[in-house]
Amino acid sequence: MKNKEICRETTTRGSGKMGLAYMALLAICCSWAYEGFRFNSTGIVSPVGMGLNFLWLGLWIWKVYYRYEVILRQNELEIVTIGLWKQGSYKVDLSKTESFAQHYRHDFFRRTRIKHYIHRYNMADVNPTRILAFKEGKGLAAVIFCCSDEFLKELVRLMPDKYLEF
């Protein structure tokens, strides 16, 4: 039997969150300009300053530029990463699901001894951040992703006994 697709969503960027993201990008550009000014003044390249600039730019690209497509099927949740030159996919077997929640709360899930967190969300996405905990090897892992309330309703319909409402 083919694993039929139930629901599919792509990252939806909100103007308010994108405004903050562009302000962060402006701060990164100012940092690059400062390093250029400093190099022109002294003739010395600051390895720490340049390293931090590359780190901040990489983080911005990863958390804002990358988009994600969330696909719900009868037996799996697939999250496709769409980036600069890289496209990847992460699949969760829904039969191994321990629980999932409508909101990601770090304080609650830290106490569950989840060993491995998989971050698959865009910080500029207007949809809330959700979490799905599942068995991985001998421990627990969790995928953090964004989806709409309609997508979450379909997930609840598939696994009503594993839904945590808080």
pLDDT value of residue 85: 74
Average pLDDT across the chain, whole number: 88
Domain shared by 47 and 84, yes or no? no
Q: Do 78 and 108 belong to one domain? A: yes
Q: Are residues 53 and 91 in the same domain?
A: no
Q: Are residues 40 and 118 in the same domain?
A: no
Contact yes or no for 14/126 (Cβ under 8 A): yes
Q: Which of 48, 64, 80 is the last residue of a domain?
A: 64
Q: Are residues 101 and 152 in the same domain?
A: yes
Asked if 73 and 146 sit in the same domain, the reply is yes
Q: Are residues 78 and 159 in the same domain?
A: yes
The parts of the chain modelled with pLDDT lower than 70 are 1-2, 109
Domain assignment present for residue 8? The answer is no
Helix axes 15-42, 47-60, angle to 10 degrees: 160
Looking at the fold, whether 99 and 22 belong to one and the same domain comes out as no
- Range(s) of the domain holding residue 138: 67-164
Predicted local distance difference test score (pLDDT) of residue 38:
87
pTM metric for this prediction = 0.82
Q: How far apart are CA 71 and CA 6, in angstroms?
A: 8
133 lies in the same domain as 82: yes
What is the model's pLDDT at position 2?
Answer: 61
Q: Could you read off the pLDDT of 30-68 as tens digits, one per residue?
A: 999 999 888 888 888 889 989 999 999 998 888 888 899
Using alpha carbons, select from 79, 55, 53 the residue that is nearest to residue 66.
79
Q: Both 105 and 53 in a single domain?
A: no
Share above pLDDT 70 across residues of the chain, in percent, rounded to a whole number = 97
Number of structural domains in the chain:
2
